[in-house]
């Protein structure tokens, strides 16, 4: 009897100490309230994360390992790089939704000659990216503090073109409604060069999934989906000239080595790509989101 009491005390002590250590480890090093959201930068040992919401882990926007800032922490950021397997040498890249700026940094390392335009609505996020995430800007990497939709429309007027557009704009919950509609995707498609590609980071576990999928298909035709079983992100990879279009073979040694250096296995990446022409995992009659009908974030509330 005393023995088991002793054991109980030991276990309790152990559990408590683990919890305490855990709490000590997560340290908020910066927090501010911007015009749009609460921004929190949190250190947990070697891991530094940008969060837009205190409560849940789901809202981590961007993370990096302080000792190895080049390594990509999130699966979805690795999966976004499938774009390079289709279009290995994009000269002009547009990233909508900055986060910590890790995607921009990674792409600059992989493609030092490419021009990268970052668009971020929240000026505070840009400041935090510069200050805490080593977000790099130079004569090839530019940042615009603007709404993504407005930037795209203005870029079209200036007859600009991009070889790769990355849609990664999130607010606290999900993608803003006006950045999910058919009209918006048509605008981004018109901004692509003839062989241009578009990758979008989306969630795969909500009612919105089929609406979103149907909307992409309505604009781009069939596309590639990249996802793992163990995460809730799905990357949409769409091409201006369709899935069957000619593509540059991506087996250049340089690219594969470059990807390996940042912890990305090109072969595994290639295997995780599935064309919706072969396998469509949403019903055909799913409604398309438009500027007229886009209750996106209301649909997102009810997860299946």
Partner 1 sequence: MQTANNPVNFCNLYIYFLAFTSGFSIMCIELLAGRILAPFFGSSVHIWGSIITVFMLSLSFGYLLGGKFSTHSASLNRYGAIFIIAGLTLLPIVTSSVWLMESIFLAVEDSRYGSLLASTALFFIPTIILGMLSPYSVRLLVKNSNESGQVAGKLYFVSTLGSAIGTIITSFYLVLWFDINTIVMSVSMVLSLLGVITIAVAKMNTSFYKAKLQRDISHA
Stretch 139-178: interaction string toward partner 1, x if CB under 8 A: -------xxxxx--xx--x------------------xxx
Q: How far is the CB of 211 from partner 1 (least distance, A)?
A: 12
Separation of alpha carbons 128 and 40, rounded Å: 9
Nearer to partner 1, 227 or 294 (CB): 294
Question: Which range of residues in 3-11, 160-168, 180-188, 233-241 is near partner 1 by CB under 8 A?
Answer: 180-188
* Nearest residue to 59 (alpha-carbon basis) of 168, 135, 169, 171: 171
Given a contact cutoff of 8 angstroms between Cβ atoms, the answer to whether 64 and 48 are in contact is: yes
Q: How far is the CB of 242 from partner 1 (least distance, A)?
A: 26
Could you give the residue numbers annotated as active site?
168
Nearer to partner 1, 145 or 275 (CB): 145
Residues of span 113-142 touching partner 1 by CB under 8 A:
121
Residue 244's SS3 state is: coil
Nearer to partner 1, 38 or 290 (CB): 290
Residue 233's SS3 state is: strand
Nearer to partner 1, 201 or 294 (CB): 294
Residue 159 DSSP code: T
Separation of alpha carbons 282 and 155, rounded Å: 33
How big is the site for partner 1, counted in residues (CB under 8 A)? 25
Residue 287 DSSP code: P
Nearer to partner 1, 1 or 157 (CB): 157
Residues of span 19-38 touching partner 1 by CB under 8 A:
35-36
Given a contact cutoff of 8 angstroms between Cβ atoms, the answer to whether 224 and 200 are in contact is: no
Residue 59 CA to chain centroid, in angstroms?
A: 12
- Residue 42 within binding range of partner 1, rule CB under 8 A: no
Separation of alpha carbons 122 and 169, rounded Å: 11
Stretch 49-88: interaction string toward partner 1, x if CB under 8 A: ----------------------------------------
* Nearest residue to 62 (alpha-carbon basis) of 101, 29, 94: 101
Question: Which range of residues in 63-71, 159-167, 222-230, 289-297 is near partner 1 by CB under 8 A?
Answer: 289-297
Q: Binding partner 1 by CB under 8 A: which of 61, 102, 105, 181? A: 181
Count other C-beta atoms under 10 Å from residue 224's C-beta. 22
Residue 211's SS3 state is: helix
Q: How far is the CB of 151 from partner 1 (least distance, A)?
A: 9
Given a contact cutoff of 8 angstroms between Cβ atoms, the answer to whether 236 and 216 are in contact is: yes
Question: Which range of residues in 24-32, 225-233, 255-263, 290-298 is near partner 1 by CB under 8 A?
Answer: 290-298
Nearer to partner 1, 99 or 176 (CB): 176
Separation of alpha carbons 216 and 237, rounded Å: 10
- What the block records as the tokens of 93 is 């890249």
Question: DSSP assignment of 49-97, as one string?
Answer: EEES-SS-GGGEEEEEESS-TTS--SHHHHHHTHHHHHSS--SEEEEE-
Q: How far is the CB of 213 from partner 1 (least distance, A)?
A: 19
Residues that bind partner 1 (CB under 8 A): 35-36, 121, 146-150, 153-154, 157, 176-178, 181, 183-184, 290-295, 298-299
């Amino acid at each position: 009897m005393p023995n088991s009491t002793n054991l109980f005390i030991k276990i309790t002590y152990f559990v408590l100490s683990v919890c305490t250590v855990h709490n000590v480890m997560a340290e908020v090093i910066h927090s501010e309230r911007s015009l749009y959201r609460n921004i929190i930068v949190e250190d947990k040992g070697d891991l530094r994360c940008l969060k837009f919401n205190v409560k849940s882990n789901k809202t981590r926007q961007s993370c990096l390992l302080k000792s190895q800032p080049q390594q990509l922490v999130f699966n979805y950021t690795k999966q976004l790089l499938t774009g390079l397997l289709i279009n290995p040498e994009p000269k002009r890249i547009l990233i909508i939704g900055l986060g910590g700026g890790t995607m921009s940094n990674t792409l600059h390392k992989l493609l030092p000659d490419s021009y990268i335009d970052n668009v971020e609505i929240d000026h505070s996020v840009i400041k935090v990216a510069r200050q805490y995430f080593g977000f790099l800007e130079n004569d090839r990497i530019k940042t615009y503090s603007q709404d993504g939709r407005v930037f795209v429309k203005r870029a079209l007027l200036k007859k600009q073109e991009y070889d790769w557009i990355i849609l990664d704009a999130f607010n606290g919950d999900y993608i803003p409604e006006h950045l999910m509609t058919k009209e918006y995707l048509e605008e981004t498609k018109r901004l692509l060069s003839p062989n241009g590609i578009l990758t979008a980071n989306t969630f795969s576990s909500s009612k919105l999934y089929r609406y979103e999928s149907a909307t992409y298909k309505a604009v781009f035709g069939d596309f590639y989906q990249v996802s793992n079983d163990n995460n809730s992100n799905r990357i949409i990879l769409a091409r201006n000239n369709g899935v069957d279009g000619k593509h540059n073979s991506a087996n250049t040694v340089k690219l594969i080595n470059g990807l390996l250096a940042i912890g990305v296995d090109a072969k595994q990446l290639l295997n995780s790509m599935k064309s919706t022409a072969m396998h469509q995992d949403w019903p055909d009659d799913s409604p398309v989101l438009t500027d007229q009908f886009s209750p996106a974030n209301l649909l997102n509330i009810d997860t299946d």
